[in-house]
Amino acid sequence: MNLPYAESYKIKMVESIKRSTKAERLEWIKNADYNLFNLRSNQVYVDLLTDSGTGAMSDKQWSAMMLGDESYAGASSYYKLKNAVKDILGFEYFLPTHQGRAAENVLFSTLVKAGDIVPGNSHFDTTKGHIEFRKAKAIDCTIDEAFNTTIQHDFKGNINLNRLETVLQDNSADKIPFIIVTVTCNSSGGQPVSMQNMKEVYQLAQEYKIRVIFDSARFAENAYFIKQREAGYADKSIKEIVKEMFSYADGMTMSSKKDAIVNMGGFIALREEKVFKEATVYNIMFEGFISYGGMSGRDMNALAQGLDEGTEFDVLDNRIQQVAYLGTKLKEYGVPVQEPFGGHAIFVDAKRFLSHLPKEEFLAQTLGVELFIEGGIRAVEIGAILADRDPETRENRYPELELLRLAIPRRTYTNNHMDYVAAAIKNVYDRRLEIKSGLKIMEEAPIMRHFTVKLDRI
């Protein structure tokens, strides 16, 4: 008999979670204005809101924390992290920040000005926010296959090179501070970018003398997919693949709360000394002195260890197999999900799930609310609410994909939890036609409204 798959870790510490009744959940979600961000964590049974900062650190990370150096300047923890960035990612210059969007804030303050254009593959919401906040424009050049959840394509995060070249041709280089490549591409469903595509984007960028920056939150998952799917990489280690990936970038922003498996942290890494020096000024203003940038020494130690662990094959294999386990279950139940499965999450296609309702009723959010009521599961909308209004016309933007994301925290839940989640979704799916209407917005912020939006049932 073939031995079945089993995780290559065991559990040393546990945290209790509490079941609730449907009546309680109906009350809670109403009081939360149908915004899942407003729920208290103790009202949630299985929390798949995000895989950001919600992973379980290892015994080695926890012990590294005890060795944190909290000196204001020149802490050993800073040098430990700087060395890890150099060794694992290959960048000479590095600035710690308190999380990913802080890295964007610092780097974009340095490079982006009003009227600029930043092409890329489906920009993440905070990335787009930081571009639009500076009155610059994000142009999505993702391949079309990414927007059809039924098409099988190994690298749906890829950039359409023709589309990119058109943008580079139509605009002068001084209007394009950089091209941003998000690995994996969060907004198109945690889909990877191929090595080939990274290389071609970089070559094109060099022709036009434009920088390439990687938005790198899930770079290691991207490397895992390259190893599994791209010809010539099967025998390379994740660390070798990671090194090659970043050789096609001039710099990176990182949310360490994802693939570096820490609860808080981020950084910028760069090849150009000039940009580094300019960014240093903003880092000191917004984040902290360059040797801590909003992070404590212990957190930098945990992050250095996390970068090393997060780029080990087994750690990635455990994680991505668990995500695929949930995806496979849902497929068996006939639930429409994005394929191939993403690295960090399963994305339920809300347009296909609730095909009897109009898009103006916020389908993915409606589905998210139903799933919470059904099983106390918290997922997140990646759809029209997240897409915000057009900054010029102020009209709602309805993206091609209207998804409910079930993000799986790293090393946190067991496959029994995945079974529970799949069963709850199946129940909602079976009674989907009883969902007669969706949600409407009662109150919203001018930008990044999804965090605080107040909704009501139609």
Ligand X SMILES: *Cc1c(COP(=O)(O)O)cnc(C)c1O
Contact between 130 and ligand X by CB under 6 A: the answer reads no
Q: Hey, which residues are catalytic here?
A: 72, 124-125, 215, 217, 258, 450
Contact with ligand X (CB under 6 A) among 35, 77, 99, 311: 99
- Torsion sign over Cα 103, 453, 186, 60: positive
- Pick the piece of the chain touching ligand X (CB under 6 A) from 97-105, 300-308, 350-358, 375-383: 97-105
310/38 Cα distance (integer angstroms):
30
Contacts of 344 (CB under 8 A, 6+ apart): 51, 184, 186, 190, 218, 221, 258, 319, 323, 407, 408
Cβ 380 to ligand X shortest distance, Å: 12
Cβ 205 to ligand X shortest distance, Å: 19
| Strand spans (E) along 337-391 | 345-349, 377-378, 380-382
Contact with ligand X (CB under 6 A) among 43, 61, 127, 322: 127
Cβ 448 to ligand X shortest distance, Å: 11
Nearest to 283 by CA among 423, 75, 109: 109
Phi, psi of 26 (to 5 degrees): -60, -40
Cβ 126 to ligand X shortest distance, Å: 5
Contact between 294 and ligand X by CB under 6 A: the answer reads no
Contact between 142 and ligand X by CB under 6 A: the answer reads no
Let me know: does 424 contact 371? Beta carbons within 8 Å: yes
Contact between 124 and ligand X by CB under 6 A: the answer reads yes
- Pick the piece of the chain touching ligand X (CB under 6 A) from 87-95, 169-177, 234-242, 253-261: 253-261
Cβ 362 to ligand X shortest distance, Å: 22
Distance of CA 76 to the CA centre of its chain: 29
The size of the chain, in residues, is 458
Contact with ligand X (CB under 6 A) among 101, 134, 211, 449: 101
Phi, psi of 416 (to 5 degrees): -60, -40
Buried b (16+ CB within 10 A) or exposed e, 245-266: bbebbbbbbbbbbbbbbbbbbb
Which residue lies nearer to ligand X by CB, 253 or 365? Answer: 253
Contact between 255 and ligand X by CB under 6 A: the answer reads yes
Contact with ligand X (CB under 6 A) among 100, 306, 343, 409: 100
| Strand spans (E) along 271-379 | 345-349, 377-378
Contact between 371 and ligand X by CB under 6 A: the answer reads no
Contact between 449 and ligand X by CB under 6 A: the answer reads no
Site string for ligand X, 155-194 (x = CB under 6 A): ---------------------------x---x--------
301/295 Cα distance (integer angstroms):
10
- Pick the piece of the chain touching ligand X (CB under 6 A) from 93-101, 240-248, 278-286, 381-389: 93-101
Phi, psi of 205 (to 5 degrees): -60, -40
Cβ 97 to ligand X shortest distance, Å: 9
Long-range CB pairs of 141-149 (<8 Å, 24+ gap) are: 141/167, 142/185, 142/188, 146/121, 146/122, 146/185, 146/188, 146/189, 146/191, 147/188, 147/400, 147/401, 149/189, 149/336, 149/337, 149/338, 149/339, 149/347, 149/349, 149/352, 149/401, 149/403
CA–CA distances in Å: residue 242 to residues 75, 226, 230, 238, 455: 27, 10, 14, 6, 42
- Pick the piece of the chain touching ligand X (CB under 6 A) from 8-16, 124-132, 232-240, 352-360: 124-132
Contact between 122 and ligand X by CB under 6 A: the answer reads no
91/74 Cα distance (integer angstroms):
19
Which residue lies nearer to ligand X by CB, 259 or 370? Answer: 259
205/167 Cα distance (integer angstroms):
11
Which residue lies nearer to ligand X by CB, 186 or 291? Answer: 186
- Pick the piece of the chain touching ligand X (CB under 6 A) from 31-39, 122-130, 131-139, 311-319: 122-130
Nearest to 122 by CA among 97, 142, 100: 142
**CB nearest ligand X: which residue?**
100
Which residue lies nearer to ligand X by CB, 194 or 255? Answer: 255
Contact with ligand X (CB under 6 A) among 215, 221, 299, 388: 215
Nearest to 189 by CA among 444, 407, 18: 407
Nearest to 414 by CA among 289, 277, 290, 322: 322
Contact between 251 and ligand X by CB under 6 A: the answer reads no
- Pick the piece of the chain touching ligand X (CB under 6 A) from 79-87, 96-104, 114-122, 349-357: 96-104
Contact between 52 and ligand X by CB under 6 A: the answer reads yes
111/417 Cα distance (integer angstroms):
44
Contact between 105 and ligand X by CB under 6 A: the answer reads no
- Pick the piece of the chain touching ligand X (CB under 6 A) from 26-34, 95-103, 274-282, 395-403: 95-103
Contact between 266 and ligand X by CB under 6 A: the answer reads yes
Binding site for ligand X (CB under 6 A): 52, 99-101, 124, 126-127, 182, 186, 215, 217, 255, 257-258, 266
